[in-house]
């Protein structure tokens, strides 16, 4: 079963946003809710279902972390993950503007609506395909993972990425070590410094 999951990830790895595309999608958002949604997808690497389960009370503004309900095949689990300051400020602004309470969901829309928002905002900036597929929320997760792996400087960093993404199998995380020809060219060209 784990091998099939690994194979699925490997097949879909061509599907990730290139440099600047996530920011362009974020900037194309026309309302605060959509900005919060895209920012959470972009900066946390969380799955759509995990973002849709997020409640206001799960956010710790003082300690700068979120208690996420992690979707696991065996059983759901809760994990604390750090969050960047800008995303926290955006969340706070949105929660206050909507008058949300601790028990309220931060983003109270359907999965289908999330897919629609991602596709609409991506199309607005001229992104119609990511790899061979139409843009979808999981492309943000792949992009997040690839960014994290690119910044890794040691094998221990890959383990940290595994923990952030909550992959059960390190092999799934290691699959993000597969880079496209553009990425390899970028690395080769940087070697001249």
Could you read off the pLDDT of 151-178 as tens digits, one per residue? 777 777 776 777 677 766 766 666 666 6
Please give the Cα distance from 190 to 185 (Å, whole number): 9
Per-residue pLDDT reduced to its tens digit, 111-124 = 999 999 999 999 99
Residue 18 pLDDT > 90, yes or no?
no
The pTM for the full model equals 0.80
What domains sit in the chain, N to C, each tagged with a CATH number? 2-183 (1.10.443.10)
DSSP string, 77-112: EEEEEE--HHHHHHHHHHHHHHT--TTSBSS-S-HH
Query: Which carries the bigger pLDDT value, residue 100 or residue 148?
Result: 100
Across the beta sheet with 59-60, what order do the strands follow?
59-60, 65-70, 77-82
Q: Which residue has the higher pLDDT, 5 or 123?
A: 123
pLDDT of 129 reads 94
Angle at 17 between CA 16 and CA 21, to 5 degrees: 175
Q: Which position has the token pair 């959509």?
A: 34
Question: Looking at residues 48-77, what average pLDDT do you find?
Answer: 90
Which tokens belong to 121? Answer: 């905002």
In total, the chain counts a number of residues equal to 193
């Amino acid at each position: 079963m784990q091998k099939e999951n690994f194979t699925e990830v490997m097949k879909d790895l061509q599907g990730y946003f290139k440099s600047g595309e996530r920011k362009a999608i974020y900037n194309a958002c026309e309302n605060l809710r959509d900005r919060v949604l895209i920012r959470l997808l972009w900066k946390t690497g969380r799955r759509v279902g995990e973002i849709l389960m997020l409640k206001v009370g799960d956010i710790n503004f003082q300690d700068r972390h979120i208690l996420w309900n992690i979707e696991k095949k065996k059983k759901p689990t809760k994990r604390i993950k750090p969050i960047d300051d800008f995303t926290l400020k955006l969340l706070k602004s949105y929660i206050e503007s909507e008058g949300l309470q601790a028990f309220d969901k931060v983003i109270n829309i359907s999965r289908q609506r999330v897919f629609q928002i991602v596709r609409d905002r991506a199309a607005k900036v001229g992104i119609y395909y990511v790899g061979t597929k139409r843009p979808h929320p999981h492309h943000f997760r792949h992009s997040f993972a690839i960014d994290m792996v690119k910044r890794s400087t040691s094998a221990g960093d890959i383990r940290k990425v595994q923990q952030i993404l909550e992959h059960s199998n390190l092999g799934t995380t290691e699959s993000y070590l597969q880079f496209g020809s553009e990425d390899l060219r970028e690395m080769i060209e940087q070697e001249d410094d």
